[in-house]
A and B are shown apart, each in its own frame.
Chain A
Amino acid sequence: MSSEPDGPRKGSPGNDAAVATAEPTNSSDGARARPMDALFKNLTRSAGLGLLALIAAIAAFLVLEATDALSANTGNFLTTTEWFPNGSPPVFGVAALLFGTLLTAVIAMAIAVPVAVGIALFITVYAPRRFAAPLAFVVDLLAAVPSVIFGLWGLIVLVPRMEGVQKFLTDYFGWIPLFATDNSVVGRSIFVASVVLAIMILPIVAALSREVFLQVPIAHREAALALGATRWEMIRTAVLPYGRPGVISASMLGLGRAMGETIAVALVLPASFGISWQILSPAGNTIAANVANGFAEANSVGRGALIASGLVLFVVTMIVNMIARAIIARRREFSGAAA
């Protein structure tokens, strides 16, 4: 290595053939790209551009497929809560579905993220080493299991047992509007769907958060301890602030999964179309669950309507991710990455 000059190698005939095939990059300093560098650069560049093209193609496909149905719609697509795209005339709107999607996802996050962060902190900070390693292994393993498996477990084991929990919540906390119910409480509600979603996203958020907390340099943890921080204060001063961007990213991945989850939610929710904050009432539906329920029986307008709702999900996911990026970027210079 050290014998090779870094500058242009005009005088080395052995390399000429290889160098000639590589495209020159920085013509200003006269240096030439090495062939493997150029190859790898082009490979990664096409992978990156390919991804962008794929996203654009998906968006274009959704718009194209949805146009006919949207022009046949006699309701307002964004504000109507009904969903009768197969009727004549077709009337449908995404309002109730979008509401259900966001509400279940947000409640699922509210349940899953604190628990996941707690698991990750326990493994990285509190657990004795001989427990930490197997625990971490188990969490990683669970994160790799398709979330529908947890959804099925939730449906079969958890949902039948949730009735009592819901009755308790509405009996004792019914004065909070969120927990009030006009109807009798049965197993199927936004709340139960959110709990099932929370269980589904918990392992992935926990596994990613653990990785993030593991990245906190020992030096920062020791700095806090040496100042006389207790273990919890050390977490608050050194671990959580450093891991914040990573935990936000992990939560966004979980949120994406929660919003896109179909079968489990479709099996829990009664597929009613209405907007209600009463999360314990048997009502509610989400975009993804509605697609799963309705796609098989839909006519061409119905299909277009479902695709239009998919487009809304697509856009909402992008907006949520952009907000998350903005939150992370706002504190970039304090992230430790800039140093």
Chain B
Amino acid sequence: MATRIDVSGLTAYYGKFRAVSDIHFSIEPKSVTAFIGPSGCGKSTVLRTLNRMHEVLPAARVEGRVLLDGEDLYGPGVDPVNVRRAVGMVFQRPNPFPTMSIYDNVVAGLKLNGTRKKSLLDERAEESLRGANLWEEVKDRLGRPGAGLSGGQQQRLCIARAIAVEPQVLLMDEPCSALDPISTLAIEDLITKLKSSYTIVIVTHNMQQAARVSDTTAFFTLDRTGDPGRLVEMDRTEKIFSNPTEKRTEEYITGRFG
């Protein structure tokens, strides 16, 4: 299931603006990797290049290579639709489809893939909701609107929706930034649990969170506003937070800048 990711020479643009420049890194299967760095450093942009969601924005484009188990996501003839089915994503703000019930939200991706069999959908819905630690809370009201849940529940619903299609990689773009501390804890527990099945990449502004959930941490920064973001250092999370190689990383994690 889980997959390794190798990124080389990655540069992403919004129109003429170069958002990140010449990024290289590798991510091990079944690990949690945290992207940290100041606002505007391009960590979310890099995340969105990993499932070709970057190019959804107008005039956005990508150069370089992103290998998923050796296959270039940006190779000729690769359909971004298939990439996104293999690499799931959870967004900053919980975004369940407001017109759908809890159940329909979870199976939305399966239905897109052409699964129609009711018994199979039911089975996957329960599995995914259990996987997202939400089943017990919603099992009696699967037909109710997904938008009626609390923010933390909505975010777990979105995680259930993302894992229902059994992706190889799960990307999370600041998944807890709109949540209260208790919901945040629930999501962090969930990330630790999901690690056994998925390769997870999480963008976070919260350095304690990065320290708590991730195995590897990548620190991005930019020299000045308007300059492209760069990857400064990527290493085991313990090392980044105790004894980083780069001075800029140390300054950032100790709160002296950014």
Contact = CB atoms under 8 A, between A and B. Distances in A.
Interface of A: 129, 217, 219-220, 222-230, 233, 237-238, 241-242, 244, 331, 333-336, 338-339
Contacts of A336: 98-99, 147
B10 to A, nearest CB: 19
16 contacts: A219-B95, A220-B98, A223-B161, A224-B112, A225-B56, A227-B85, A227-B108, A227-B162, A228-B85, A229-B81, A230-B81, A233-B112, A241-B100, A242-B98, A336-B98, A338-B145
Interface in B62-99: 81-82, 84-85, 88-89, 91, 93, 95-99
Given A237-B108, A333-B145, A334-B145, A223 B81 contact: no
Contacts, number: 84
Contact of A334 (B56, B59, B82, B98): B98
Interface string B29-62: 0000000000000000000000101001011000
Given A219-B93, A335-B98, 11 more contacts: A129-B58, A220-B97, A222-B95, A226-B91, A227-B108, A227-B112, A228-B84, A237-B108, A333-B148, A334-B99, A334-B100
Across chains A and B, which 10 residue pairs bring their CB atoms closest together, nearest first?
A336-B98, A228-B85, A339-B147, A241-B99, A227-B109, A226-B89, A219-B95, A228-B84, A223-B95, A334-B99
Given A225-B53, A225-B84, A230-B81, A338 B99 contact: no
Chain B contact patch, size range: 20 to 34
Interface in B136-163: 145, 147-148, 158, 161-162
Contacts of B113: 228
Contacts of B81: 228-230
B145 A339 contact: yes
A227 B162 CA distance: 7
A165 B120 CA distance: 49
B165 interface: yes
Contacts of B108: 224, 227, 237
A223 B109 CA distance: 10
A225 B148 CA distance: 23
Contacts of A241: 97, 99-100
B101 interface: yes
A228 B165 contact: yes
Given A226-B84, A333-B145, A334-B101, A217 B95 contact: yes
Interface of B: 51, 53, 56, 58-59, 81-82, 84-85, 88-89, 91, 93, 95-101, 108-109, 112-113, 145, 147-148, 158, 161-162, 165
Contacts of B98: 220, 242, 334-336, 339
A203 B22 CA distance: 48
B53 A244 contact: no
A227 B95 contact: no
B249 to A, nearest CB: 30
Nearest to B88: A226
A298 B162 CA distance: 69
B214 to A, nearest CB: 21
A238 B82 CA distance: 19
Contacts of B147: 336, 338-339
Nearest to B96: A223
A19 to B, nearest CB: 39
B89 A338 contact: no
A233 B93 CA distance: 22
A252 to B, nearest CB: 20
A225 B59 CA distance: 17
B113 to A, nearest CB: 7
B209 to A, nearest CB: 22
Contacts of A233: 112
Contacts of A223: 91, 95-97, 158, 161
Given A222-B56, A223-B158, A333-B145, A228 B99 contact: no
B99 A244 contact: yes
Task: Name, among A129, A225, A226, A229, the residue most crowded by chain B CB atoms within 10 Å (CB to CB).
Answer: A226
Contacts of B91: 219, 222-223, 226
A337 B91 CA distance: 21
Contacts of A220: 95, 97-98
Contacts of A228: 81-82, 84-85, 109, 112-113, 165
A226 B99 contact: no
Task: Name, among B88, B95, B98, the residue most crowded by chain A CB atoms within 10 Å (CB to CB).
Answer: B98
B161 A227 contact: yes
Nearest to A241: B99
A220 B162 CA distance: 14
Nearest to A226: B89
A273 to B, nearest CB: 45
A331 B145 CA distance: 10
A217 B94 CA distance: 12
